[in-house]
Amino acid sequence: MAKLFLCVFTILAICSWATATIAESDIKYKDPKQPLGVRIRDLMNRMTLEEKIGQMTQIDSSLATLEVMRNFSIGSLLTTASTPSTQDPPEAWINMVNNFQRESLSTRLGIPLMYGIDAVHGNSKVYNATIFPHNIGLGVTRDVELVKKIGVATALEVRATGINYAFAPCVAVCRDPRWGRCFESFSEDPNIVRAMTEIIPGLQGSIPSDGRLGVPFVSGQEKVASCAKHYVGDGGTTKGINANNTVIDFHGLLSIHMPPYFDAVRKGVTTIMISYSSLNGVKMHRNTPLITGFLKNTLKFRGFVISDFMGIDQLTNPPHANYTSSIQQSIMAGIDMAMIGSNYIDFIDGMTFLVKNNSIPMSRIDDAVKRILRVKFVMGLFENPFTDLSMAKYLGEQDHRDLAREAVRKSLVLLKNGKSVNQPMLPLPKKLTKILVAGTHADDIGYQCGGWTIEWAGKSGNTTSGTTILSAVKNIVDPTTQVLYVENPTPDFIKSNNFSYAIVVTGEYPYSESAGDSQNLTIPEPGPTTIMNVCVSVKCVVVLISGRPVVIEPYVPIMDALVAAWLPGTEGQGVADVLFGDYGITGKLANTWFKTVDQLPMNVGDSHYDPLYPLGYGLTTEPTNRD
């Protein structure tokens, strides 16, 4: 009897093992050898409505408890604030993201997580990351290989914190510098912006020669999913007011604001973010003809479309009013993933209600989820969901800082050099008795970096590691040269000190989005006062830190030299490299520099084009290394 029982038990065990083996092999979505389409279909066939809606939902990581992740099958997280603590090492970030990933993998189907961050000029929310010049400076370089290398470095530094999705690049075409996001744009010229989309294969990897153009592509664990934004027309709003209305005919849209998206889609961009703005009175978050009709059907974009942060809420005034209707309009317009604030339960409940009441057809849900899963599969997340702690070494790596320093050198534009052609001010001599450095921005990493740095709007102070322009000057001059820094010196003080020359570093204070909108574009005090006090008293070069062209015409005559440094980031040594002649200045304006704000908007080709400095302007210097 015992032998019979043992025999039956053995047979049952073998059958159970065989059944389990067959069942496991039947899970095609987990098999990397299966074709992409097969994996997507297999997984979707196993998903409930609730799990599909969860994949369409992106929430803030601060809300992502294990219970939330499991109960709602959340498909994506984002960081809106600097998390973990400001100065925690990258390993803390990796552990945090890996823990969230474990929570995702513990759900019924184990669909891995996409985690997004605003890495718009490097992994700029993370302490000790390399902060590159903002896009307005990179456009000046016209150097597509440099920008691609910056994409490669940024991807590594994002991965160094365990994150796999960057909300970058911004491919807006800024047509009015009054816009508070103009510094996120490479140029007013769509052709320059198109060229700079080469940052996308830097972030994601280049599509192989036998690959399919237009299909989302990410080449491995050292790359990230990227996001072309903000679709479409965000740089052309009336009076440059952020999230305002862009008035333009279809021909103008196709020739100015749409071209960068042609290139982004062709280069395999995985996601595209919708703009808060309106186009001819229609909010982009509900613009079906342009999202579904043009982007998905005409351009054949096969990645997924994501809303901007709480963009669905912004369809009404006040925001979040009649939210169910806003959900219906935006999802039916073609948005696949919703970037939600704290109202994820409202979104999920609203979506569920709309589908069950046939206000959103299941075919629209399936299209959205198919796109999201396609991106996750091409990212390799199902095979490699976690980040190894060894990746932390890439954050702030010296090679990346050297690359950023090169980008700073190439992004500077020399607008004036000497009060006469025969007496150039630059390059500056390194060996003199005493020089003055002045201005609010001379010794402030936060001011150099601008918005989207550590905090959303950026802030003053040495908020992360880097080299200020003051430190850079001290590093490069002869050891016998005395460098004296006074933030806002008086003319009497200057005259009593017998300085050989002065460097004034001043400009705009950090801002982001609507907080940066300006109808006057003046340099805030004490910037103008410092320029006046210094430049009437001693030979001076003004280094202007700004996110766009600003009003400078009244002050130019008293300056001996003027350098537009934009928002150079953490590597201020790049500024000193060219001021003192170790490298020549080569940058050319990628945005028109106006005389007065009354001329705005004014772009090259306009009938009223009468700039202070035109698009493409920039004086040059040769490297001298002189003493």
Residues assigned a catalytic role = 308, 513
Do 590 and 604 contact (CB within 8 A), yes or no?
no
DSSP string, 570-624: SBTHHHHHHHTTSS------SS-B-S-GGG-S--TT-TT---SB-TT--B-----
- Name residue 305's beta-bridge partners: 272
**Tokens encoding 397:** 């790596």
Do 563 and 544 contact (CB within 8 A), yes or no?
yes
Residue with tokens 């206000």: 359
**Tokens encoding 300:** 């054949």
Closest CA to 224 of 178, 164, 269, 140: 164
Q: Give the CA distances from residue 318 to residues 194, 312, 315, in Å, rounded to whole numbers and listed in that order.
A: 36, 12, 9
DSSP string, 104-146: HHTSSS-PPPEEEE--BTBSTTSTT---PPPHHHHHHH--HHH
Q: Give the CA distances from residue 474 to residues 411, 435, 534, in Å, rounded to whole numbers and listed in that order.
A: 21, 10, 19
SS3 427: coil
**Which amino acid is located at 223 in the chain?**
K
How wide is the angle at C-alpha 135 spanned by C-alphas 157 and 245, nearest 5°?
A: 120
The DSSP call for residue 240 is: G
CA count, 13 A, side-chain hemisphere, 45: 10
Q: Give the CA distances from residue 349 to residues 74, 324, 334, 346, 366, in Å, rounded to whole numbers and listed in that order.
A: 13, 9, 19, 5, 18
**Tokens encoding 349:** 């409940």
Output the 3-class SS for 191-205: HHHHHHCCHHHHHHC
CA 352 – CA 402 distance, rounded (Å)? 50
Cis peptide before 230 (omega within 30 of 0): yes
DSSP string, 152-217: HHHHHHHHTTT--EE---B--B---TTSTTGGGSSBSSHHHHHHHTTHHHHHH-PPPTTSPTTS--
* Burial of 289: CB neighbours in 10 Å, binned 0-12, 13-18, 19+: middle
**Tokens encoding 558:** 């008293």
Q: Give the CA distances from residue 153 to residues 130, 400, 437, in Å, rounded to whole numbers and listed in that order.
A: 9, 6, 32
Do 269 and 295 contact (CB within 8 A), yes or no?
no
- Name residue 503's beta-bridge partners: 437, 541
